[in-house]
Amino acid sequence: MKIAIASDHGGFDLKDIIVEYLKEKGYEVTDYGISENKRVDYPDYAALVADGISKGKEELGILICGTGLGMSIAANKISGIRAACVSDSFSAKMAREHNNANILCFGGRVVGDEVAKTLVDAFLEAEFAEGRHSTRVDKIMSFEKE
């Protein structure tokens, strides 16, 4: 599975740890930056990952900022994106199973390295449950056409 990832300066250290973790687990990773620790505007990096997912270049994405909030708000403005900001693994799993989320967001100033890895595992190993959840997700996506 191909995973897109990016962070701003609030998630820079954690991003590198997660990139290595994903590679160790055998995922193919597209790292959209940042590549050095400098102050940037998180919407620019949310857009890079969201665009990759939206165009089918990668299947799922991970965005890390200070809280995960700005990244998720920005990514959710891009067509086809369902970004979930979480800090516990149950929510990360449910984001895939019930909401068919395609981007996982979390905060480098909120979760530690090991908790972040549990979020990533829970998200990437879960699958969309479909059925009644498809109807609900379809309703969400219909808002994009209004």
Residue 62 pairs in a beta bridge with: 5, 104
Q: Where is 28: in which H helix or E strand? A: strand 28-31
Work out whether 76 is an interface residue with ligand RB5 (CB under 6 A): no
* Part of the chain binding ligand RB5 (CB under 6 A), chosen from 43-51, 60-68, 114-122, 132-140: 60-68
Which residue lies nearer to ligand RB5 by CB, 37 or 134? 37
Question: Is 63 an interacting residue with respect to ligand RB5 (CB under 6 A)?
Answer: no
30 in Cβ contact with 58 (< 8 Å): yes
* Minimum CB–partner distance for residue 9 and ligand RB5 (Å): 7
The CA distance from 109 to 93, in Å, is: 21
Residues that bind ligand RB5 (CB under 6 A): 8, 10, 42, 65-67, 69-70
